[in-house]
């Protein structure tokens, strides 16, 4: 396992065709635990606050009056709103409200693609004669904020079914994205969040990818708004001077699928608050 973790650090994981998702995840966890031996596994759900004490203290102060509360309230209202045919969003989901966020992302064999929570919400709206919401809209992000809040404390349990080739292909596509260099800066996700994790970029420290999906959507102080995970993906790709993919594109959904699987066993704790 340690040899595999070393290859992971070098960004060669996509070349290890014999490694399955669970081997990837175990190596991922092993690497971060070796890098930060004093950080309990569960703490990685807190992102940068797991490894930066100064940032953690600021976050704890912010959490006394959470800036994302308005989004949770709006999302709850929209969740219970009646659609044109008298149905509600909850009617599209078989799970109790606390179990909906943990059910996504998932591979939908019928559709042949990864379905995220945002995509599932829009599928529901369209099935009940409402237009899809823009993926950067306050309304859609607020609904996901409400569902994230309802899921707090639930474990991440993303599945890549062994008997579903399409699921493994989507997972591998997300893994390739994570380790692929792009843009004028020639950076991969792993360059910042694996090899350089914990180091400073100007006044900020780079967080671990382990647990990246647990706390979204997040309130960004510098933006004064709650943003989705895919908006963060978009910003990262743009910042390395590459052309970003569309929100909820296949590329970003598969990346979310990979990162979500890497975080299995951590607890959901969204919405979050970040600089």
Question: Domains of the chain: which residue ranges?
Answer: 2-65+164-265, 69-150
Its CATH class, for the domain covering 2-65+164-265, is mainly alpha
pLDDT tens readout for residues 105-154? 999 999 999 999 999 999 999 999 999 999 999 999 999 999 999 999 99
CB atoms within 10 A of CB 34: 11
pLDDT tens readout for residues 26-70? 999 999 999 999 999 999 999 999 999 999 999 999 999 999 999
How many helices, marked H, and strands, marked E, lie in the chain?
11, 7
Catalytic pick among 92, 124, 189, 236: 236
Q: Is residue 200 classed as helix, strand or coil in its secondary structure?
A: strand
Q: Is 124 a catalytic residue?
A: no
| Domain 69-150 superfamily per CATH | Cytochrome c-like domain (1.10.760.10)
- Say what the pTM is: 0.93
Distances (CA, A) of 3 to 34, 43, 68, 189, 198: 13, 25, 42, 21, 22
The reply to whether omega before 23 is within 30° of 0 (cis) is no
Q: How far apart are CA 13 and CA 32, in angstroms?
A: 15
Residue 7 has pLDDT above 80, yes or no: no
pLDDT of residue 14: 47
CB atoms within 10 A of CB 8: 21
Q: List, in sequence order, every beta strand (DSSP E) within 149-207.
A: 200-201, 204-205
Nearest to 151 by CA among 235, 213, 81, 223: 213
């Amino acid at each position: 396992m340690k040899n595999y973790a070393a290859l992971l650090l070098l960004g060669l994981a996509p070349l290890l065709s014999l490694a399955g998702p669970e081997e990837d995840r175990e190596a991922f966890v092993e690497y971060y635990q070796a890098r930060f031996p004093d950080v309990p596994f569960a703490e990685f759900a807190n992102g940068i606050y797991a490894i930066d004490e100064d940032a953690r203290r600021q976050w704890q102060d912010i959490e006394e009056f959470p800036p994302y509360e308005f989004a949770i309230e709006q999302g709850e209202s929209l969740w219970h709103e009646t659609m044109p045919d008298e149905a509600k969003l909850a009617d599209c989901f078989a799970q109790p409200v606390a179990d909906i966020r943990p059910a996504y992302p998932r591979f939908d064999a019928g559709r042949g693609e990864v379905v995220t929570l945002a995509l599932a919400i829009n599928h529901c709206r369209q099935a009940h004669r409402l237009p899809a919401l823009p993926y950067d809209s306050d309304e859609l992000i607020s609904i996901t904020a409400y569902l994230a809040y309802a899921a707090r404390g639930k474990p991440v349990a993303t599945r890549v079914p062994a008997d579903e080739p399409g699921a493994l292909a989507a997972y591998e596509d997300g893994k390739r994205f994570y380790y692929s260099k792009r843009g004028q800066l020639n950076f991969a996700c792993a360059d910042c969040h694996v090899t350089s994790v914990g180091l400073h970029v100007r006044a900020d420290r780079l967080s671990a990818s382990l647990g990246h999906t647990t706390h979204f959507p997040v309130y960004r102080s510098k933006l004064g708004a709650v943003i989705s995970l895919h908006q963060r993906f978009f910003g990262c790709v743009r910042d390395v001077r590459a052309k970003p993919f569309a929100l909820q594109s296949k590329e970003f959904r598969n990346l979310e699928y990979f990162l979500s699987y890497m975080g299995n066993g951590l607890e959901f704790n969204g919405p979050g608050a970040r600089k």
